[in-house]
Structure 1
Amino acid sequence: MTLTAELQQSGREPALPLRLPLGEGTELCVEQWLRVLPGKRLVARARQGERTVLLKLFVAAGAARHSQRELAGVEVLREQGVRTPVLLAEGEIEGGGRYLISEFLVDANSLQQRWDALASRQPGDPQAMALLGQALALIGDMHSKGLVQTDLHLGNFLLQADQLYVIDGDAVEAQTPGQPLTAEAAQQNLAIFFAQLPSEWDELTELLLIDYLQHNPIALNPDTLAASIEKVRHRRQEDYLGKSLRDCTLFSVKRTWWRFAASVRTQTQRLSALLSDPNQCFIGQSLLKDGGSSTVVKVESEQGDLVVKRYNIKSLGHWLSRFWRPSRAWHSWLAAHRLQFLGISTPAPLAMIERRFGPLRRQAWLITEFCAGENLLEYFGEEGGREPNEEEAAALLGLFERLRRSRISHGDCKATNLLWHAGNVVLIDLDAMQQHDSNGSTWIKAWETDRARFIRNWPTDSLLAQWLEDRLPGSAV
């Protein structure tokens, strides 16, 4: 079997160390896989003699084409004076694959790593603004030279000392090399960048563009850019939700005639016993909830406690009303990942299982992290005898504003379905959650229903109910 064939069949964790012959008696030793797209592309840290290098392996059927695209992207960056790691060598792997070797930027961090390490990523935070400004300055420089990075995210910028580099050459296109992009092309590319920020940052778009415009002073239409950002953000959200239902880098999905199981890939080993038999945890355990339609149990784990929710089939009639559509576990799985994508707090969804007979659904289970928070009815008290303090007010109003901005209705906005935990309000019980497509009457009615139901948790004349009535948005538009 050729080396290319071996790599195509090596799965997500190819064996290490791997030795790659380079000709003339030399070889390269792979020390660590940095990214693996099974059967397609592998990125690794490797050693060539005494030097550490970055290795990209292309092993799919179109290896030569993908390798050439990467080469072309690196070359056009170099020609236009945009920093990118130096390409050291390229060649063919036994069996038809291709390799590229470039310099390894020691002690470099991606801007995504820097972003994740920030103490605060709230809109307007000076450190967050400065980091985004660095990226936008380089994007402006690229646009002024006719270049676009089609996979535009913070992970494709590496910072070494004070120097910022662009990586991932196969996503670099020279649309008008040496000449500025048109305003429309620049705007579409910028929308990809801004759409990856939480929607709370949208109000600062024009302020952030100052760094960009210093390098590419063109006329941008704020309204058109805002519409483009919303469109891209929605597309990214739907792409992410689609990934949660198929086997990919982020998720492990197993589908047979008898069952469907999806789990966060990094949690699959931890959950292996539950994925194999989710009913085992209900035996001899005290339940958090024992209702007709669902049963909920807390499962203790060394890596953090879990909650398993089983969606029951109460009768033949109940099954006949549900077997032909996605289960409530399926709906809650997607709802939780939707909230996480939008930056809205909810216990992390880890796995979802459906028992099936072909396309027909039966019992289903949802597994999430356990949240130790106190529900808001207990936290504020049933009498609602006080107003929220500054921290509580910011968390409550922030949650409802994010829900409103994303046109999300919870569907069962009881105070017991909102938890106070570590300074945040956390949403649970997402069975009836819905994201609405427009600001039409259906959304407005759902929003007003949620708002009224939440306030109704406390007596009308209580301090808390009056505070909520005055401050929660009264209209969805």
Structure 2
Amino acid sequence: MTDALRSALEDRQWQVVTPVESAVDGESLVLEQSLRLLPGKRATFAGRWGRRAVVAKVFLPSVEREQQAEVSGFNALQQAGLPAPALLWAGALENGLLAVIYEKLEGAESLGSGVRGERRSAFLAATFELLASMHRAGVWQEDIHFDNFLLANGKMFIVDNASLKSAAGPLSVEQSLDNLADFIAQFPWRERQALLDSPYLPLSLDIAEDKARLLLHEKTRKRWWYRANKYLTKIYRNCTEIVVSRTGGWHLAYKRGIDEVWLSKFKAAPDSVMVRATLLKDGNSATVVRTELAGRPVIIKRYNIKNAGHRLRRLFRETRASNAWRAAHLLQMAGIKTPVPLVLLEQRRGPLRGVAYLVTEDVGGEEMLDVFTRREPTEIELIEVAETFRVMQELQLCHGDLKATNFLVTDRGIQLIDLDVLHAVASSAAFKRCQQKDRERFLRNWYAHPGVEKTFKSLLSSDRLL
């Protein structure tokens, strides 16, 4: 029955037990698989209604307006002649829960499901063609994302009807570009650049194409930062990805799925865990060890308090561990490879900060300086280094200590580490100064190796970074 489901939603739990069974119009509704959960609001399931495969959205009564928005959005698509999975039923379940039931598109794929190669190019072209049809019909999605467009049996479909908005006529140039920018900003950097210059973007004929592309570039950059800042607020609170707890003077944030037994031991005595690990660095400012988290190799970095004066200076400031936690999430969103941040543990008393710890995955590999003094970098490695600098340039990110030893050459590519002071710079002039320092610091490592130095000097002044 649906009692447990309603309790889970009302209690803001992040998991629901399936299957959930109910009855709709005399037929059995079985919710078999949880697809998405928004605690306190709604849950989406794949299941069966009688003999039909369906997708059902279930809402708490307190968000009835969202159920109504689903139905209104579907009706708007129907009136505009735009494709959407059939709405089979909308109404109230037992216990006051509300639901909207759609047909399930068997074998459906989305851009977020890993479509690659030529199929992805065709998928993108079809998606932007559908976006153009939506804009001409005066319809757009306020919360547009990859999984809102599904390809099934060779046909595109629009889903997530609750975020649909409609205008009296076709969208204006400004509205159309804003919606495109919101969508394109979600793509990885390399693909985003290709899309911004692609021939199948639905750019309005009411404005010169070159001007439209310039506007779209700028709107996309701003929209990327809007999404990034919104995401970075989530990594310090409970959300789909992160769990946060505050007890006994400790502030803990960690990725969902991390072993709870290990976390309990680490939180109770972090230094004891580090003592039993393999020491990698024992410095005044930081201590770094390698260990295992439930069989998974990880790196733990403790940010030390050197003396009373240092403690006083750091007392009211954000910890370097917290900055690195945020920076790692930011780089991942930007498409720059960096070890996945897993756990942030800080001593806190109100606004006062003390010692802090950061746990990341262990990506293995070797420091770039050691590798490229033994051999020449490959073309792929040079491309990855160039793209790292290019993305940091586009987003105006300053590393602050960009020496070659802070790049790791791994079997998963070039990884950027030591993000303790990485930050975004708002002023273009200030960023240019910071960027110059980062580049000079990077090149300084290669003075004793003229061949590699020449390669990187050429790389950093090439068209790849213009």
Task: Output the TM-score relative to the length of structure 2.
Answer: 0.91
Q: 1:292 to 1:164 in 2, by over 3 A?
A: same
**Does the CA contact (< 8 Å) of 1:8 and 1:39 recur in 2?**
yes
**What secondary structure does 1:11 align onto?**
coil
CA distance in 2, matches of 1:367, 1:375: 19
Amino acid in structure 2 at the alignment position of 1:57: V
Match of 2:417 in 1: 428
Q: Identify unmatched segments of 5+ residues in structure 2.
A: none
Give the whole-Å Cα distance in 2 for the aligned partners of 1:23 and 1:85.
20
Bigger drift between 139-148 and 216-225 goes to 216-225
Determine the C-alpha separation between the residues in 2 that align with 1:38 and 1:375.
43
The residue aligned with 1:180 is 170
Per the alignment, residue 123 of structure 1 pairs with none
**Counterpart for residue 188 of structure 2:** 198
What is the letter of the counterpart of residue 104 of structure 2? F
Partner of 2:219: 228
- Percent identity (aligned): 34
Deviation, structure 1 residue 237: 0.6
> How has the CA–CA distance of structure 1 residues 173 and 271 changed in structure 2, closer, same or farther, with 3 Å as cutoff?
farther
Give the Cα separation in 2 of the matches to 1:437 and 1:425.
Answer: 27
Which segment drifts farther, 341-350 or 217-226?
Answer: 217-226
Check the 8 A contact 1:327/1:364 in 2, yes or no. yes
Say whether residues 1:340 and 2:332 are aligned partners.
yes
For 1:223 and 1:9, how far apart are their aligned partners in 2? 47
Tell me the equivalent position of 1:456: 444
Counterpart Cα distance in 2 of 1:269 and 1:60: 34
Secondary structure at the residue paired with 2:254? strand
**1:74 to 1:268, Cα distance in 2 relative to 1, 3 A:** farther
Cα-to-partner distance string for 1:208-254 (whole Å, 9 max, x where unaligned): 352535xx755362222222111111100101111111111121111
Change in CA separation of 1:274 and 1:326 when aligned onto 2, cut-off 3 Å = farther
**Cα distance, 1:268–1:142 mapped onto 2, change above 3 Å:** farther
Cα distance in 2 between the residues matched to 1:150 and 1:326: 34
Change (3 A) 1:288 1:111: same
Unmatched runs of 5 consecutive residues or more in structure 1? 120-125
Q: Would the aligned equivalents of 2:2 and 2:21 in 1 still touch at CA under 8 Å?
A: no
**SS of the residue 1:367 aligns to:** strand
Return the letter of the residue paired with 1:443: F
Q: In structure 2, what is the equivalent of residue 42 of structure 1?
A: 43
457-466 or 447-456: bigger deviation: 457-466
Kept in 2, the 8 Å contact 1:379–1:420? The answer is yes
Q: Supply the distance in 2 between the matched residues of 1:13 and 1:222 (Cα, whole angstroms).
A: 43
**Preserved CA contact (<8 Å) 1:275 1:353:** no
- Distance in 2 of aligned mates of 1:270 and 1:32: 28
Compute the displacement of 1:256 (Å): 3.7
Q: CA deviation at 1:392?
A: 2.8
Does structure 2 retain, via aligned residues, the 8 Å contact 1:86–1:103?
yes
Which aligned segments of 4 or more residues in structure 1 are displaced greater than 6 angstroms?
A: 474-477
* C-alpha deviation, 1:31, in angstroms: 1.1
Task: Find the aligned partners of 1:352 and 1:60 in 2 and give their Cα distance.
Answer: 36
Change (3 A) 1:275 1:163: farther
What's the Cα RMSD here? 2.5
Structure 1 Cα separation of the partners of residues 89 and 25 of structure 2:
12
Q: Deviations over 1:113-166 (max 9, x none)?
A: 1xx3426xxxxxx55433321211110111111100111121111111201110
Kept after mapping to 2: 8 A contact 1:323/1:360: yes
Change (3 A) 1:421 1:316: same
Match of 1:22 in 2: 24
The residue identity in structure 2 corresponding to 1:255 is R
Aligned-partner Cα distance in 2 for 1:350–1:117: 27
* 1:7-51 Cα shifts (integer Å, max 9, x gaps): 423612122222223355x44122111111112110011222222
Alignment partner of 1:262 out of 230, 253, 257: 253
Query: Structure 1, residues 338-373: CA drift from partner, whole Å, max 9, x if none?
Result: 110100011111111111122211111101000111
The alignment's TM-score, normalised by the length of structure 1, stands at: 0.89
The count of residues paired between Structure 1 and Structure 2 equals 459
What residue number does 1:210 align with?
A: 200
The equivalent residue for 1:57 is 58
CA distance in 1, matches of 2:199, 2:329: 30
Conserved 8 A contact 2:22-2:94: no
**AA aligned opposite 2:398:** S
The alpha-carbon distance between structure 1 residues 359 and 256, as it changes in their structure 2 partners (threshold 3 A), is: farther
Structure 2 CA distance for aligned equivalents of residues 251 and 272 of structure 1: 14
* Match of residue 298, structure 1, among 274, 290, 301: 290
2:272 to 261, 265, 280: 280
Corresponding residue of 1:81: 81
Output the amino acid matched with 1:449: K
Q: Go from structure 1 to structure 2 and tell me whether the alpha carbon gap of 1:127 and 1:436 turns closer, same or farther (over 3 Å shift).
A: farther
Match of 1:468 in 2: 456
> Does the aligned pair in 1 maintain the 2:278–2:291 contact within 8 Å?
no
Q: How much has 1:201 moved relative to structure 2?
A: 4.1
